[in-house]
Amino acid sequence: MAERMLKFVGTPQAMPDKRPAAERRRDFDEIYEGFARDKAAEQAARCSQCGVPFCQIHCPLHNNIPDWLKLTAEGRLEEAYELSSATNNFPEICGRICPQDRLCEGNCVIEKGFESVTIGSVEKYITDTAWQRGWVKPIQPRRERPESVGIVGAGPAGLAAAEQLRRKGYQVAVYDRYDRVGGLLIYGIPNFKLEKEIVQRREKLLRDSKVSFHLNCDVGRDVSLEELRARHAAVLIATGVYKARDIAAPGVGLAGIAPALDYLTASNRHGLGDSVPEFESGMLNAAGKDVVVIGGGDTAMDCVRTAVRQGAKSVKCLYRRDRANMPGSQREVKHAEEEGVEFVWLAAPQAFLGQETVSHVRTVRIHLGMPDASGRQTPQEIPNSHVNIEADLVLKALGFDPEDLPAAMSAPDLGVTGWNTLKIDWKSMMTSLDGVFAAGDIVRGASLVVWAVRDGRDAAERVHTYLAGKALAAARIAAE
């Protein structure tokens, strides 16, 4: 092993080639090229095969990273794919959009002075290769089970659960209020981070595996939760969080100020070929505009980079803390800066100016004060530090909260936490309603795709335990 691995001393870290910023600004294609076979093997061989792999511990899916790196270094790609797909339903998606700097790669223990193994890019390479070579096949369960499971939400949590349950032979029906499968993978995250075909080929695989999809079906409006409970042996709620946080500042109701997700959804729909009146009218289109995005998370980063690609005149990101204290990935900030986005750190909106349409954002400078209970420094306004920034499109990217699900689903007995996320018993993953489980952002609050996959997989296991227990009890009664 030592011969082939442990190459981090002599082989420098290399990511796949990144397209030049000037070219990236003109299209919505992904920004990284794929690894070539020898490059992937060379990078995988940098791993020192730790006895206690911190990369694996800090991956929410506990992917068997050192083993699939070794298999890749040895050119045994089909085995690498089998290992990688055993713990992750969407390795090629996580390889593209996980914030690896905070998860696996950020915890790679390669000695200081040498940089971490490029785990995400190798993971993406393995599964992209598997797709190209036809190794990714529809599920054929060893035995069919009669029980059906209804899943509400076709985002990563719902889809991971659907795949796992189908593997066990359950009849799986997924309901979603959108017209497409994928949740935020399709309508939130832009194409330049995750090309839509990557999500759509996963949808096709699930359909070919006989998972059925009921789209344009809003549970609560088109069908009730009670009806689903009667229709299925178990129900899983994986509806995500969509209520955008707002800003309480004068002028926030002016035209030209929009929630970030409306803007990103319009752009994604346009990219998918839909007719989008708000995009075509220019309302949710940055072309030729001075754009100000408020927020410092992943959604804000996606907005600024989308605006650049739509041909905005200028794009600024306003964030009330500094670069070191922003929630978004540092890698994304770097990409945005390369693409021409200007970051206005330590600044907060105080008012929006304009007649009917916004023309300026009145900002105030911020000083970071003493840490609060969460340990984060408290932003404090600096008196008389106002600056007006020109803007004819302002996007609010301040995060998301859950909707009032018990009301929306006419299920007053569905228990929620103080944050309005669904309350579950963490051992069984069941909500307060018998046979109704929950997973993903609707339980955690706005989180990450990799956590949604983890939750979906865990929930599938718990649903199986619940249904297997019921089947056993029924068999006992029948035998008596």
- Find the binder of ligand FAD among 53, 60, 95, 188 (CB under 6 A): 188
**Which residue in the block uniquely carries the two structure tokens 């009667």?**
230
Query: 439 with 157: CB under 8 angstroms?
Result: yes
Site pattern 102..141 for ligand FAD (x: CB under 6 A): ----------------------------------------
| DSSP code per residue over 77-106 | HHHHHHHHHHH-S-HHHHHHHS-GGGSTGG
Distance, in Å, from the CA atom of 202 to the CA atom of 223, rounded to the nearest integer, reads: 26
**Shortest CB 131 distance to ligand SF4, Å:** 16
- Find the binder of ligand SF4 among 41, 98, 162, 241 (CB under 6 A): 98
87-118 b/e (C-beta count within 10 Å ≥ 16 → b)? bbbbbbbbbbbbbbeebbbebbebeeebebbb
Residue 54 contacts ligand SF4 per CB under 6 A: yes
Distance of CA 34 to the CA centre of its chain: 21
348 contacts which partner out of ligand FAD, ligand SF4, none, CB within 5 to 8 A by kind?
none
Distance, in Å, from the CA atom of 174 to the CA atom of 26, rounded to the nearest integer, reads: 36
Residue 328 contacts ligand FAD per CB under 6 A: no
**Shortest CB 196 distance to ligand SF4, Å:** 20
**Shortest CB 104 distance to ligand SF4, Å:** 3
155 contacts which partner out of ligand SF4, ligand FAD, none, CB within 5 to 8 A by kind?
ligand FAD
Helical spans, DSSP H, in 310-399: 330-338
User: Residue 255: helix, strand or coil by DSSP?
Assistant: strand
Q: Name the one range near ligand SF4 by CB under 6 A: 59-67, 141-149, 182-190, 321-329.
A: 59-67
**Shortest CB 80 distance to ligand SF4, Å:** 13
Residue 53 contacts ligand SF4 per CB under 6 A: yes
Helical spans, DSSP H, in 141-181: 156-167
| Residue 40 per-residue DSSP state | H
Nearest to 321 by CA among 353, 343, 288, 298: 343
Residue 97 contacts ligand FAD per CB under 6 A: yes
**Shortest CB 381 distance to ligand SF4, Å:** 37
417-439 b/e (C-beta count within 10 Å ≥ 16 → b)? eeebbbbbeeeebbbebebbbbb
Q: How far is CA 378 from CA 247, 321, 322, 366, 381, in A?
A: 18, 9, 12, 10, 10
Q: Name the one range near ligand SF4 by CB under 6 A: 16-24, 42-50, 139-147, 188-196.
A: 42-50
- Find the binder of ligand FAD among 31, 61, 326, 450 (CB under 6 A): 450
Residue 449 contacts ligand FAD per CB under 6 A: yes
Q: Between residues 101 and 278, which has the closer beta carbon with respect to ligand SF4? A: 101
Distance of CA 193 to the CA centre of its chain: 11
The interface with ligand FAD within residues 222-251 (CB under 6 A) comprises: 238-240
Distance, in Å, from the CA atom of 173 to the CA atom of 455, rounded to the nearest integer, reads: 18
- Find the binder of ligand SF4 among 110, 260, 264, 429 (CB under 6 A): 110
Residues that bind ligand SF4 (CB under 6 A): 47-50, 53-55, 59, 61, 63, 65-66, 88, 94-95, 98, 100, 103-104, 108-110, 117, 119-120, 123, 450
Residues that bind ligand FAD (CB under 6 A): 97-98, 152-158, 175-178, 183-184, 188-189, 193, 218-220, 238-240, 261, 264, 298-299, 302, 440-441, 447-450, 452
